Amino acid sequence: MEWVELQQNIGDAIRSAEIYVTSPWFYMQVGIILFAAGLSLAAASFLRARVDPTSLAMGLPAPLRTLIRVLMNRAGTIVFAMLTGVARIVLLKMDFVHRGYLLATATSLATAWVIIRLATGLIRNEFVVGVVSVTAWAIAALSIIGKLDDLTDALNSVSIVVGTLRLTPLLIIKATVLLAMALWLANVAGKFLEVRISRSHDLTPSVQVLLIKLTRVLLMVVAVAIVMGSVGIDLSAFALFSGAVGVGVGFGLQKIIANFISGVILLADKSVKPGDLVTVGDSFGRISAMNTRYISVAAGDGREFLIPNEDLITQKVVNWTYSDRSSLVKVNFATSYDADPNEVCKFAVDIALGTPRVTKIKPPTCLLTEFAETGMKFSLTFWIDDAYAGMDNVRSDVMLRLWEAFKERNIRVPYPVREIRVRGGALPVESVVDSSG
């Protein structure tokens, strides 16, 4: 019975289409549509050649600039919608057509496309813009021609029951679309809150990173929960699945979870924070970023060490800037016994004070540390506030200035001298004996 009814409906639709297509008013509307399409293409080319959207929107707020850019890019579609709409009104007023269904459909489709492109103008990714625009326009087109309900009924008629959950193609499509939109909105909201939190001077860098990470995770969870509830999916239906995931986490993802929890602990206890100069094992550098799984330590030579958060909890970590941003730099040098140690210490301190990047808040010190066999040994220490810029370079600058001062004052740098004495007579010399004598 259902098959016979379906055949009758298809036959009625085909006969109605034949009657409509054979009507002379159908070809009139097709001609008007083609003529409007040609005029709209010409108008769009003319506007693109005469009007520059960048100069036209200069000085306006960002939303208005986006609106002008989208309108200029869709100028042809706007002109087409206006021409077909005006043509339909004129034909209806002159009683040439009764409804002008074809013109009305063309106008509605063009208008829907413009509105959709305006709505997606805020999305930066061109691929996402294309997918969202085509999908939304297809739904709008089905609604305009009156076939959207038939399609939804067909998609909802096929189902797979999993426990208490009834999965249909319509449910999957709705959940996918709504989830993509919700996650995109959550990402936008997360970026907005990230900027606000980063600008707060009352929060330390580690607390800022912790709040940003927790905010993003919370927004994602809320977005998923809202989508699942809006499409009618009971979250309790995933109890078995969540239990299986928990077992998998316990066995296979324990390192990832350990690093995640360690990252939260590091952000909460403020033992390390972005900008700190640290040494972890053989890795030395400045913390450039803290993530949920690892921290990034910039070595200063282009390399970045990605150290798991768990290592910072379980291993010894040297934080050069934990409680004080200043770092001590030591330079060891030696002079001969001909030099005056008091004078050496005095000009060594002056050299350190005159070197860039050496702080004057904590004055340098120079100590005579040892009377060695070859000469006197000294230790010059000074402080710098920007250890992240490197300590070897400032140490090298101080040593070069010391060398120049030694040359000016005729101070010798001692070096070991070895004296070789030969005892027990002269060294044997090989003699050449004549074979004849």
- Yes or no: say if 170 and 155 are a contact pair by the CB < 8 Å rule: yes
- Domain boundaries in the chain? 20-146, 160-252, 262-319, 327-409
If you search the block for the tokens 């070069």, which residue do you land on? Answer: 400
Percentage of the residues of the chain whose pLDDT score is greater than 90: 14
Per-residue pLDDT, averaged over 114-134, amounts to 74
Given the DSSP bridges, would you call strands 165-167 and 277-280 parallel, antiparallel or unpaired?
Answer: unpaired
Residue 134 corresponds to which tokens in the numbers above?
A: 């085509």
DSSP, res 375: S
Rounded to whole angstroms, the maximal C-alpha distance in the chain is 147
**What pLDDT, on a 0 to 100 scale, did the predictor assign at position 41?**
85
**What pLDDT, on a 0 to 100 scale, did the predictor assign at position 6?**
47
- If residue 319 lies in a helix (H) or strand (E), which one and from where to where? strand 317-319
Q: List the strands of the sheet with 327-335, edge to edge.
A: 327-335, 376-384, 365-371
- Yes or no: say if 269 and 311 are a contact pair by the CB < 8 Å rule: no
If you search the block for the tokens 């036209």, which residue do you land on? Answer: 56
pLDDT digits (tens, 9 = 90+) for 371-430: 988 899 999 999 998 877 778 889 999 999 999 999 999 999 887 766 677 776 555 555
**What pLDDT, on a 0 to 100 scale, did the predictor assign at position 63?**
67
Output 334 or 75, whichever has higher pLDDT. Answer: 334
Residue 71 CB contacts under 8 Å (≥ 6 apart), including other chains: 78, 118
Lowest mean pLDDT among 59-73, 236-250, 322-336: 236-250
**What pLDDT, on a 0 to 100 scale, did the predictor assign at position 1?**
41
Which of 172, 177, 169, 174 minimizes the C-alpha distance to 131?
177
pLDDT digits (tens, 9 = 90+) for 18-30: 555 556 667 777 7
424 exposure class (CB count in 10 Å sphere: 0-12, 13-18, 19+): exposed
User: Strand pairing partners for 67?
Assistant: none
- Yes or no: say if 116 and 134 are a contact pair by the CB < 8 Å rule: no
User: Strand pairing partners for 280?
Assistant: 283, 317
Q: What is the mean pLDDT of the chain?
A: 78
Determine the Cα–Cα distance for residues 302 and 281; give it in Å rounded to an integer: 19
CATH number of 327-409: 3.30.70.100
DSSP, res 53: H
User: Strand pairing partners for 334?
Assistant: 377
**What pLDDT, on a 0 to 100 scale, did the predictor assign at position 44?**
81
Question: 0.75 exceeded by the pTM?
Answer: no
User: Strand pairing partners for 283?
Assistant: 280
pLDDT digits (tens, 9 = 90+) for 181-198: 888 788 888 888 888 888
Could you confirm whether domain 262-319 is CATH 3.40.50.150? no
User: Strand pairing partners for 365?
Assistant: 381
Alpha helices in 22-52 (DSSP H): 24-50
Q: Which of 78-92, 206-220, 325-339 has the highest mean pLDDT?
A: 325-339
- Yes or no: say if 350 and 398 are a contact pair by the CB < 8 Å rule: no
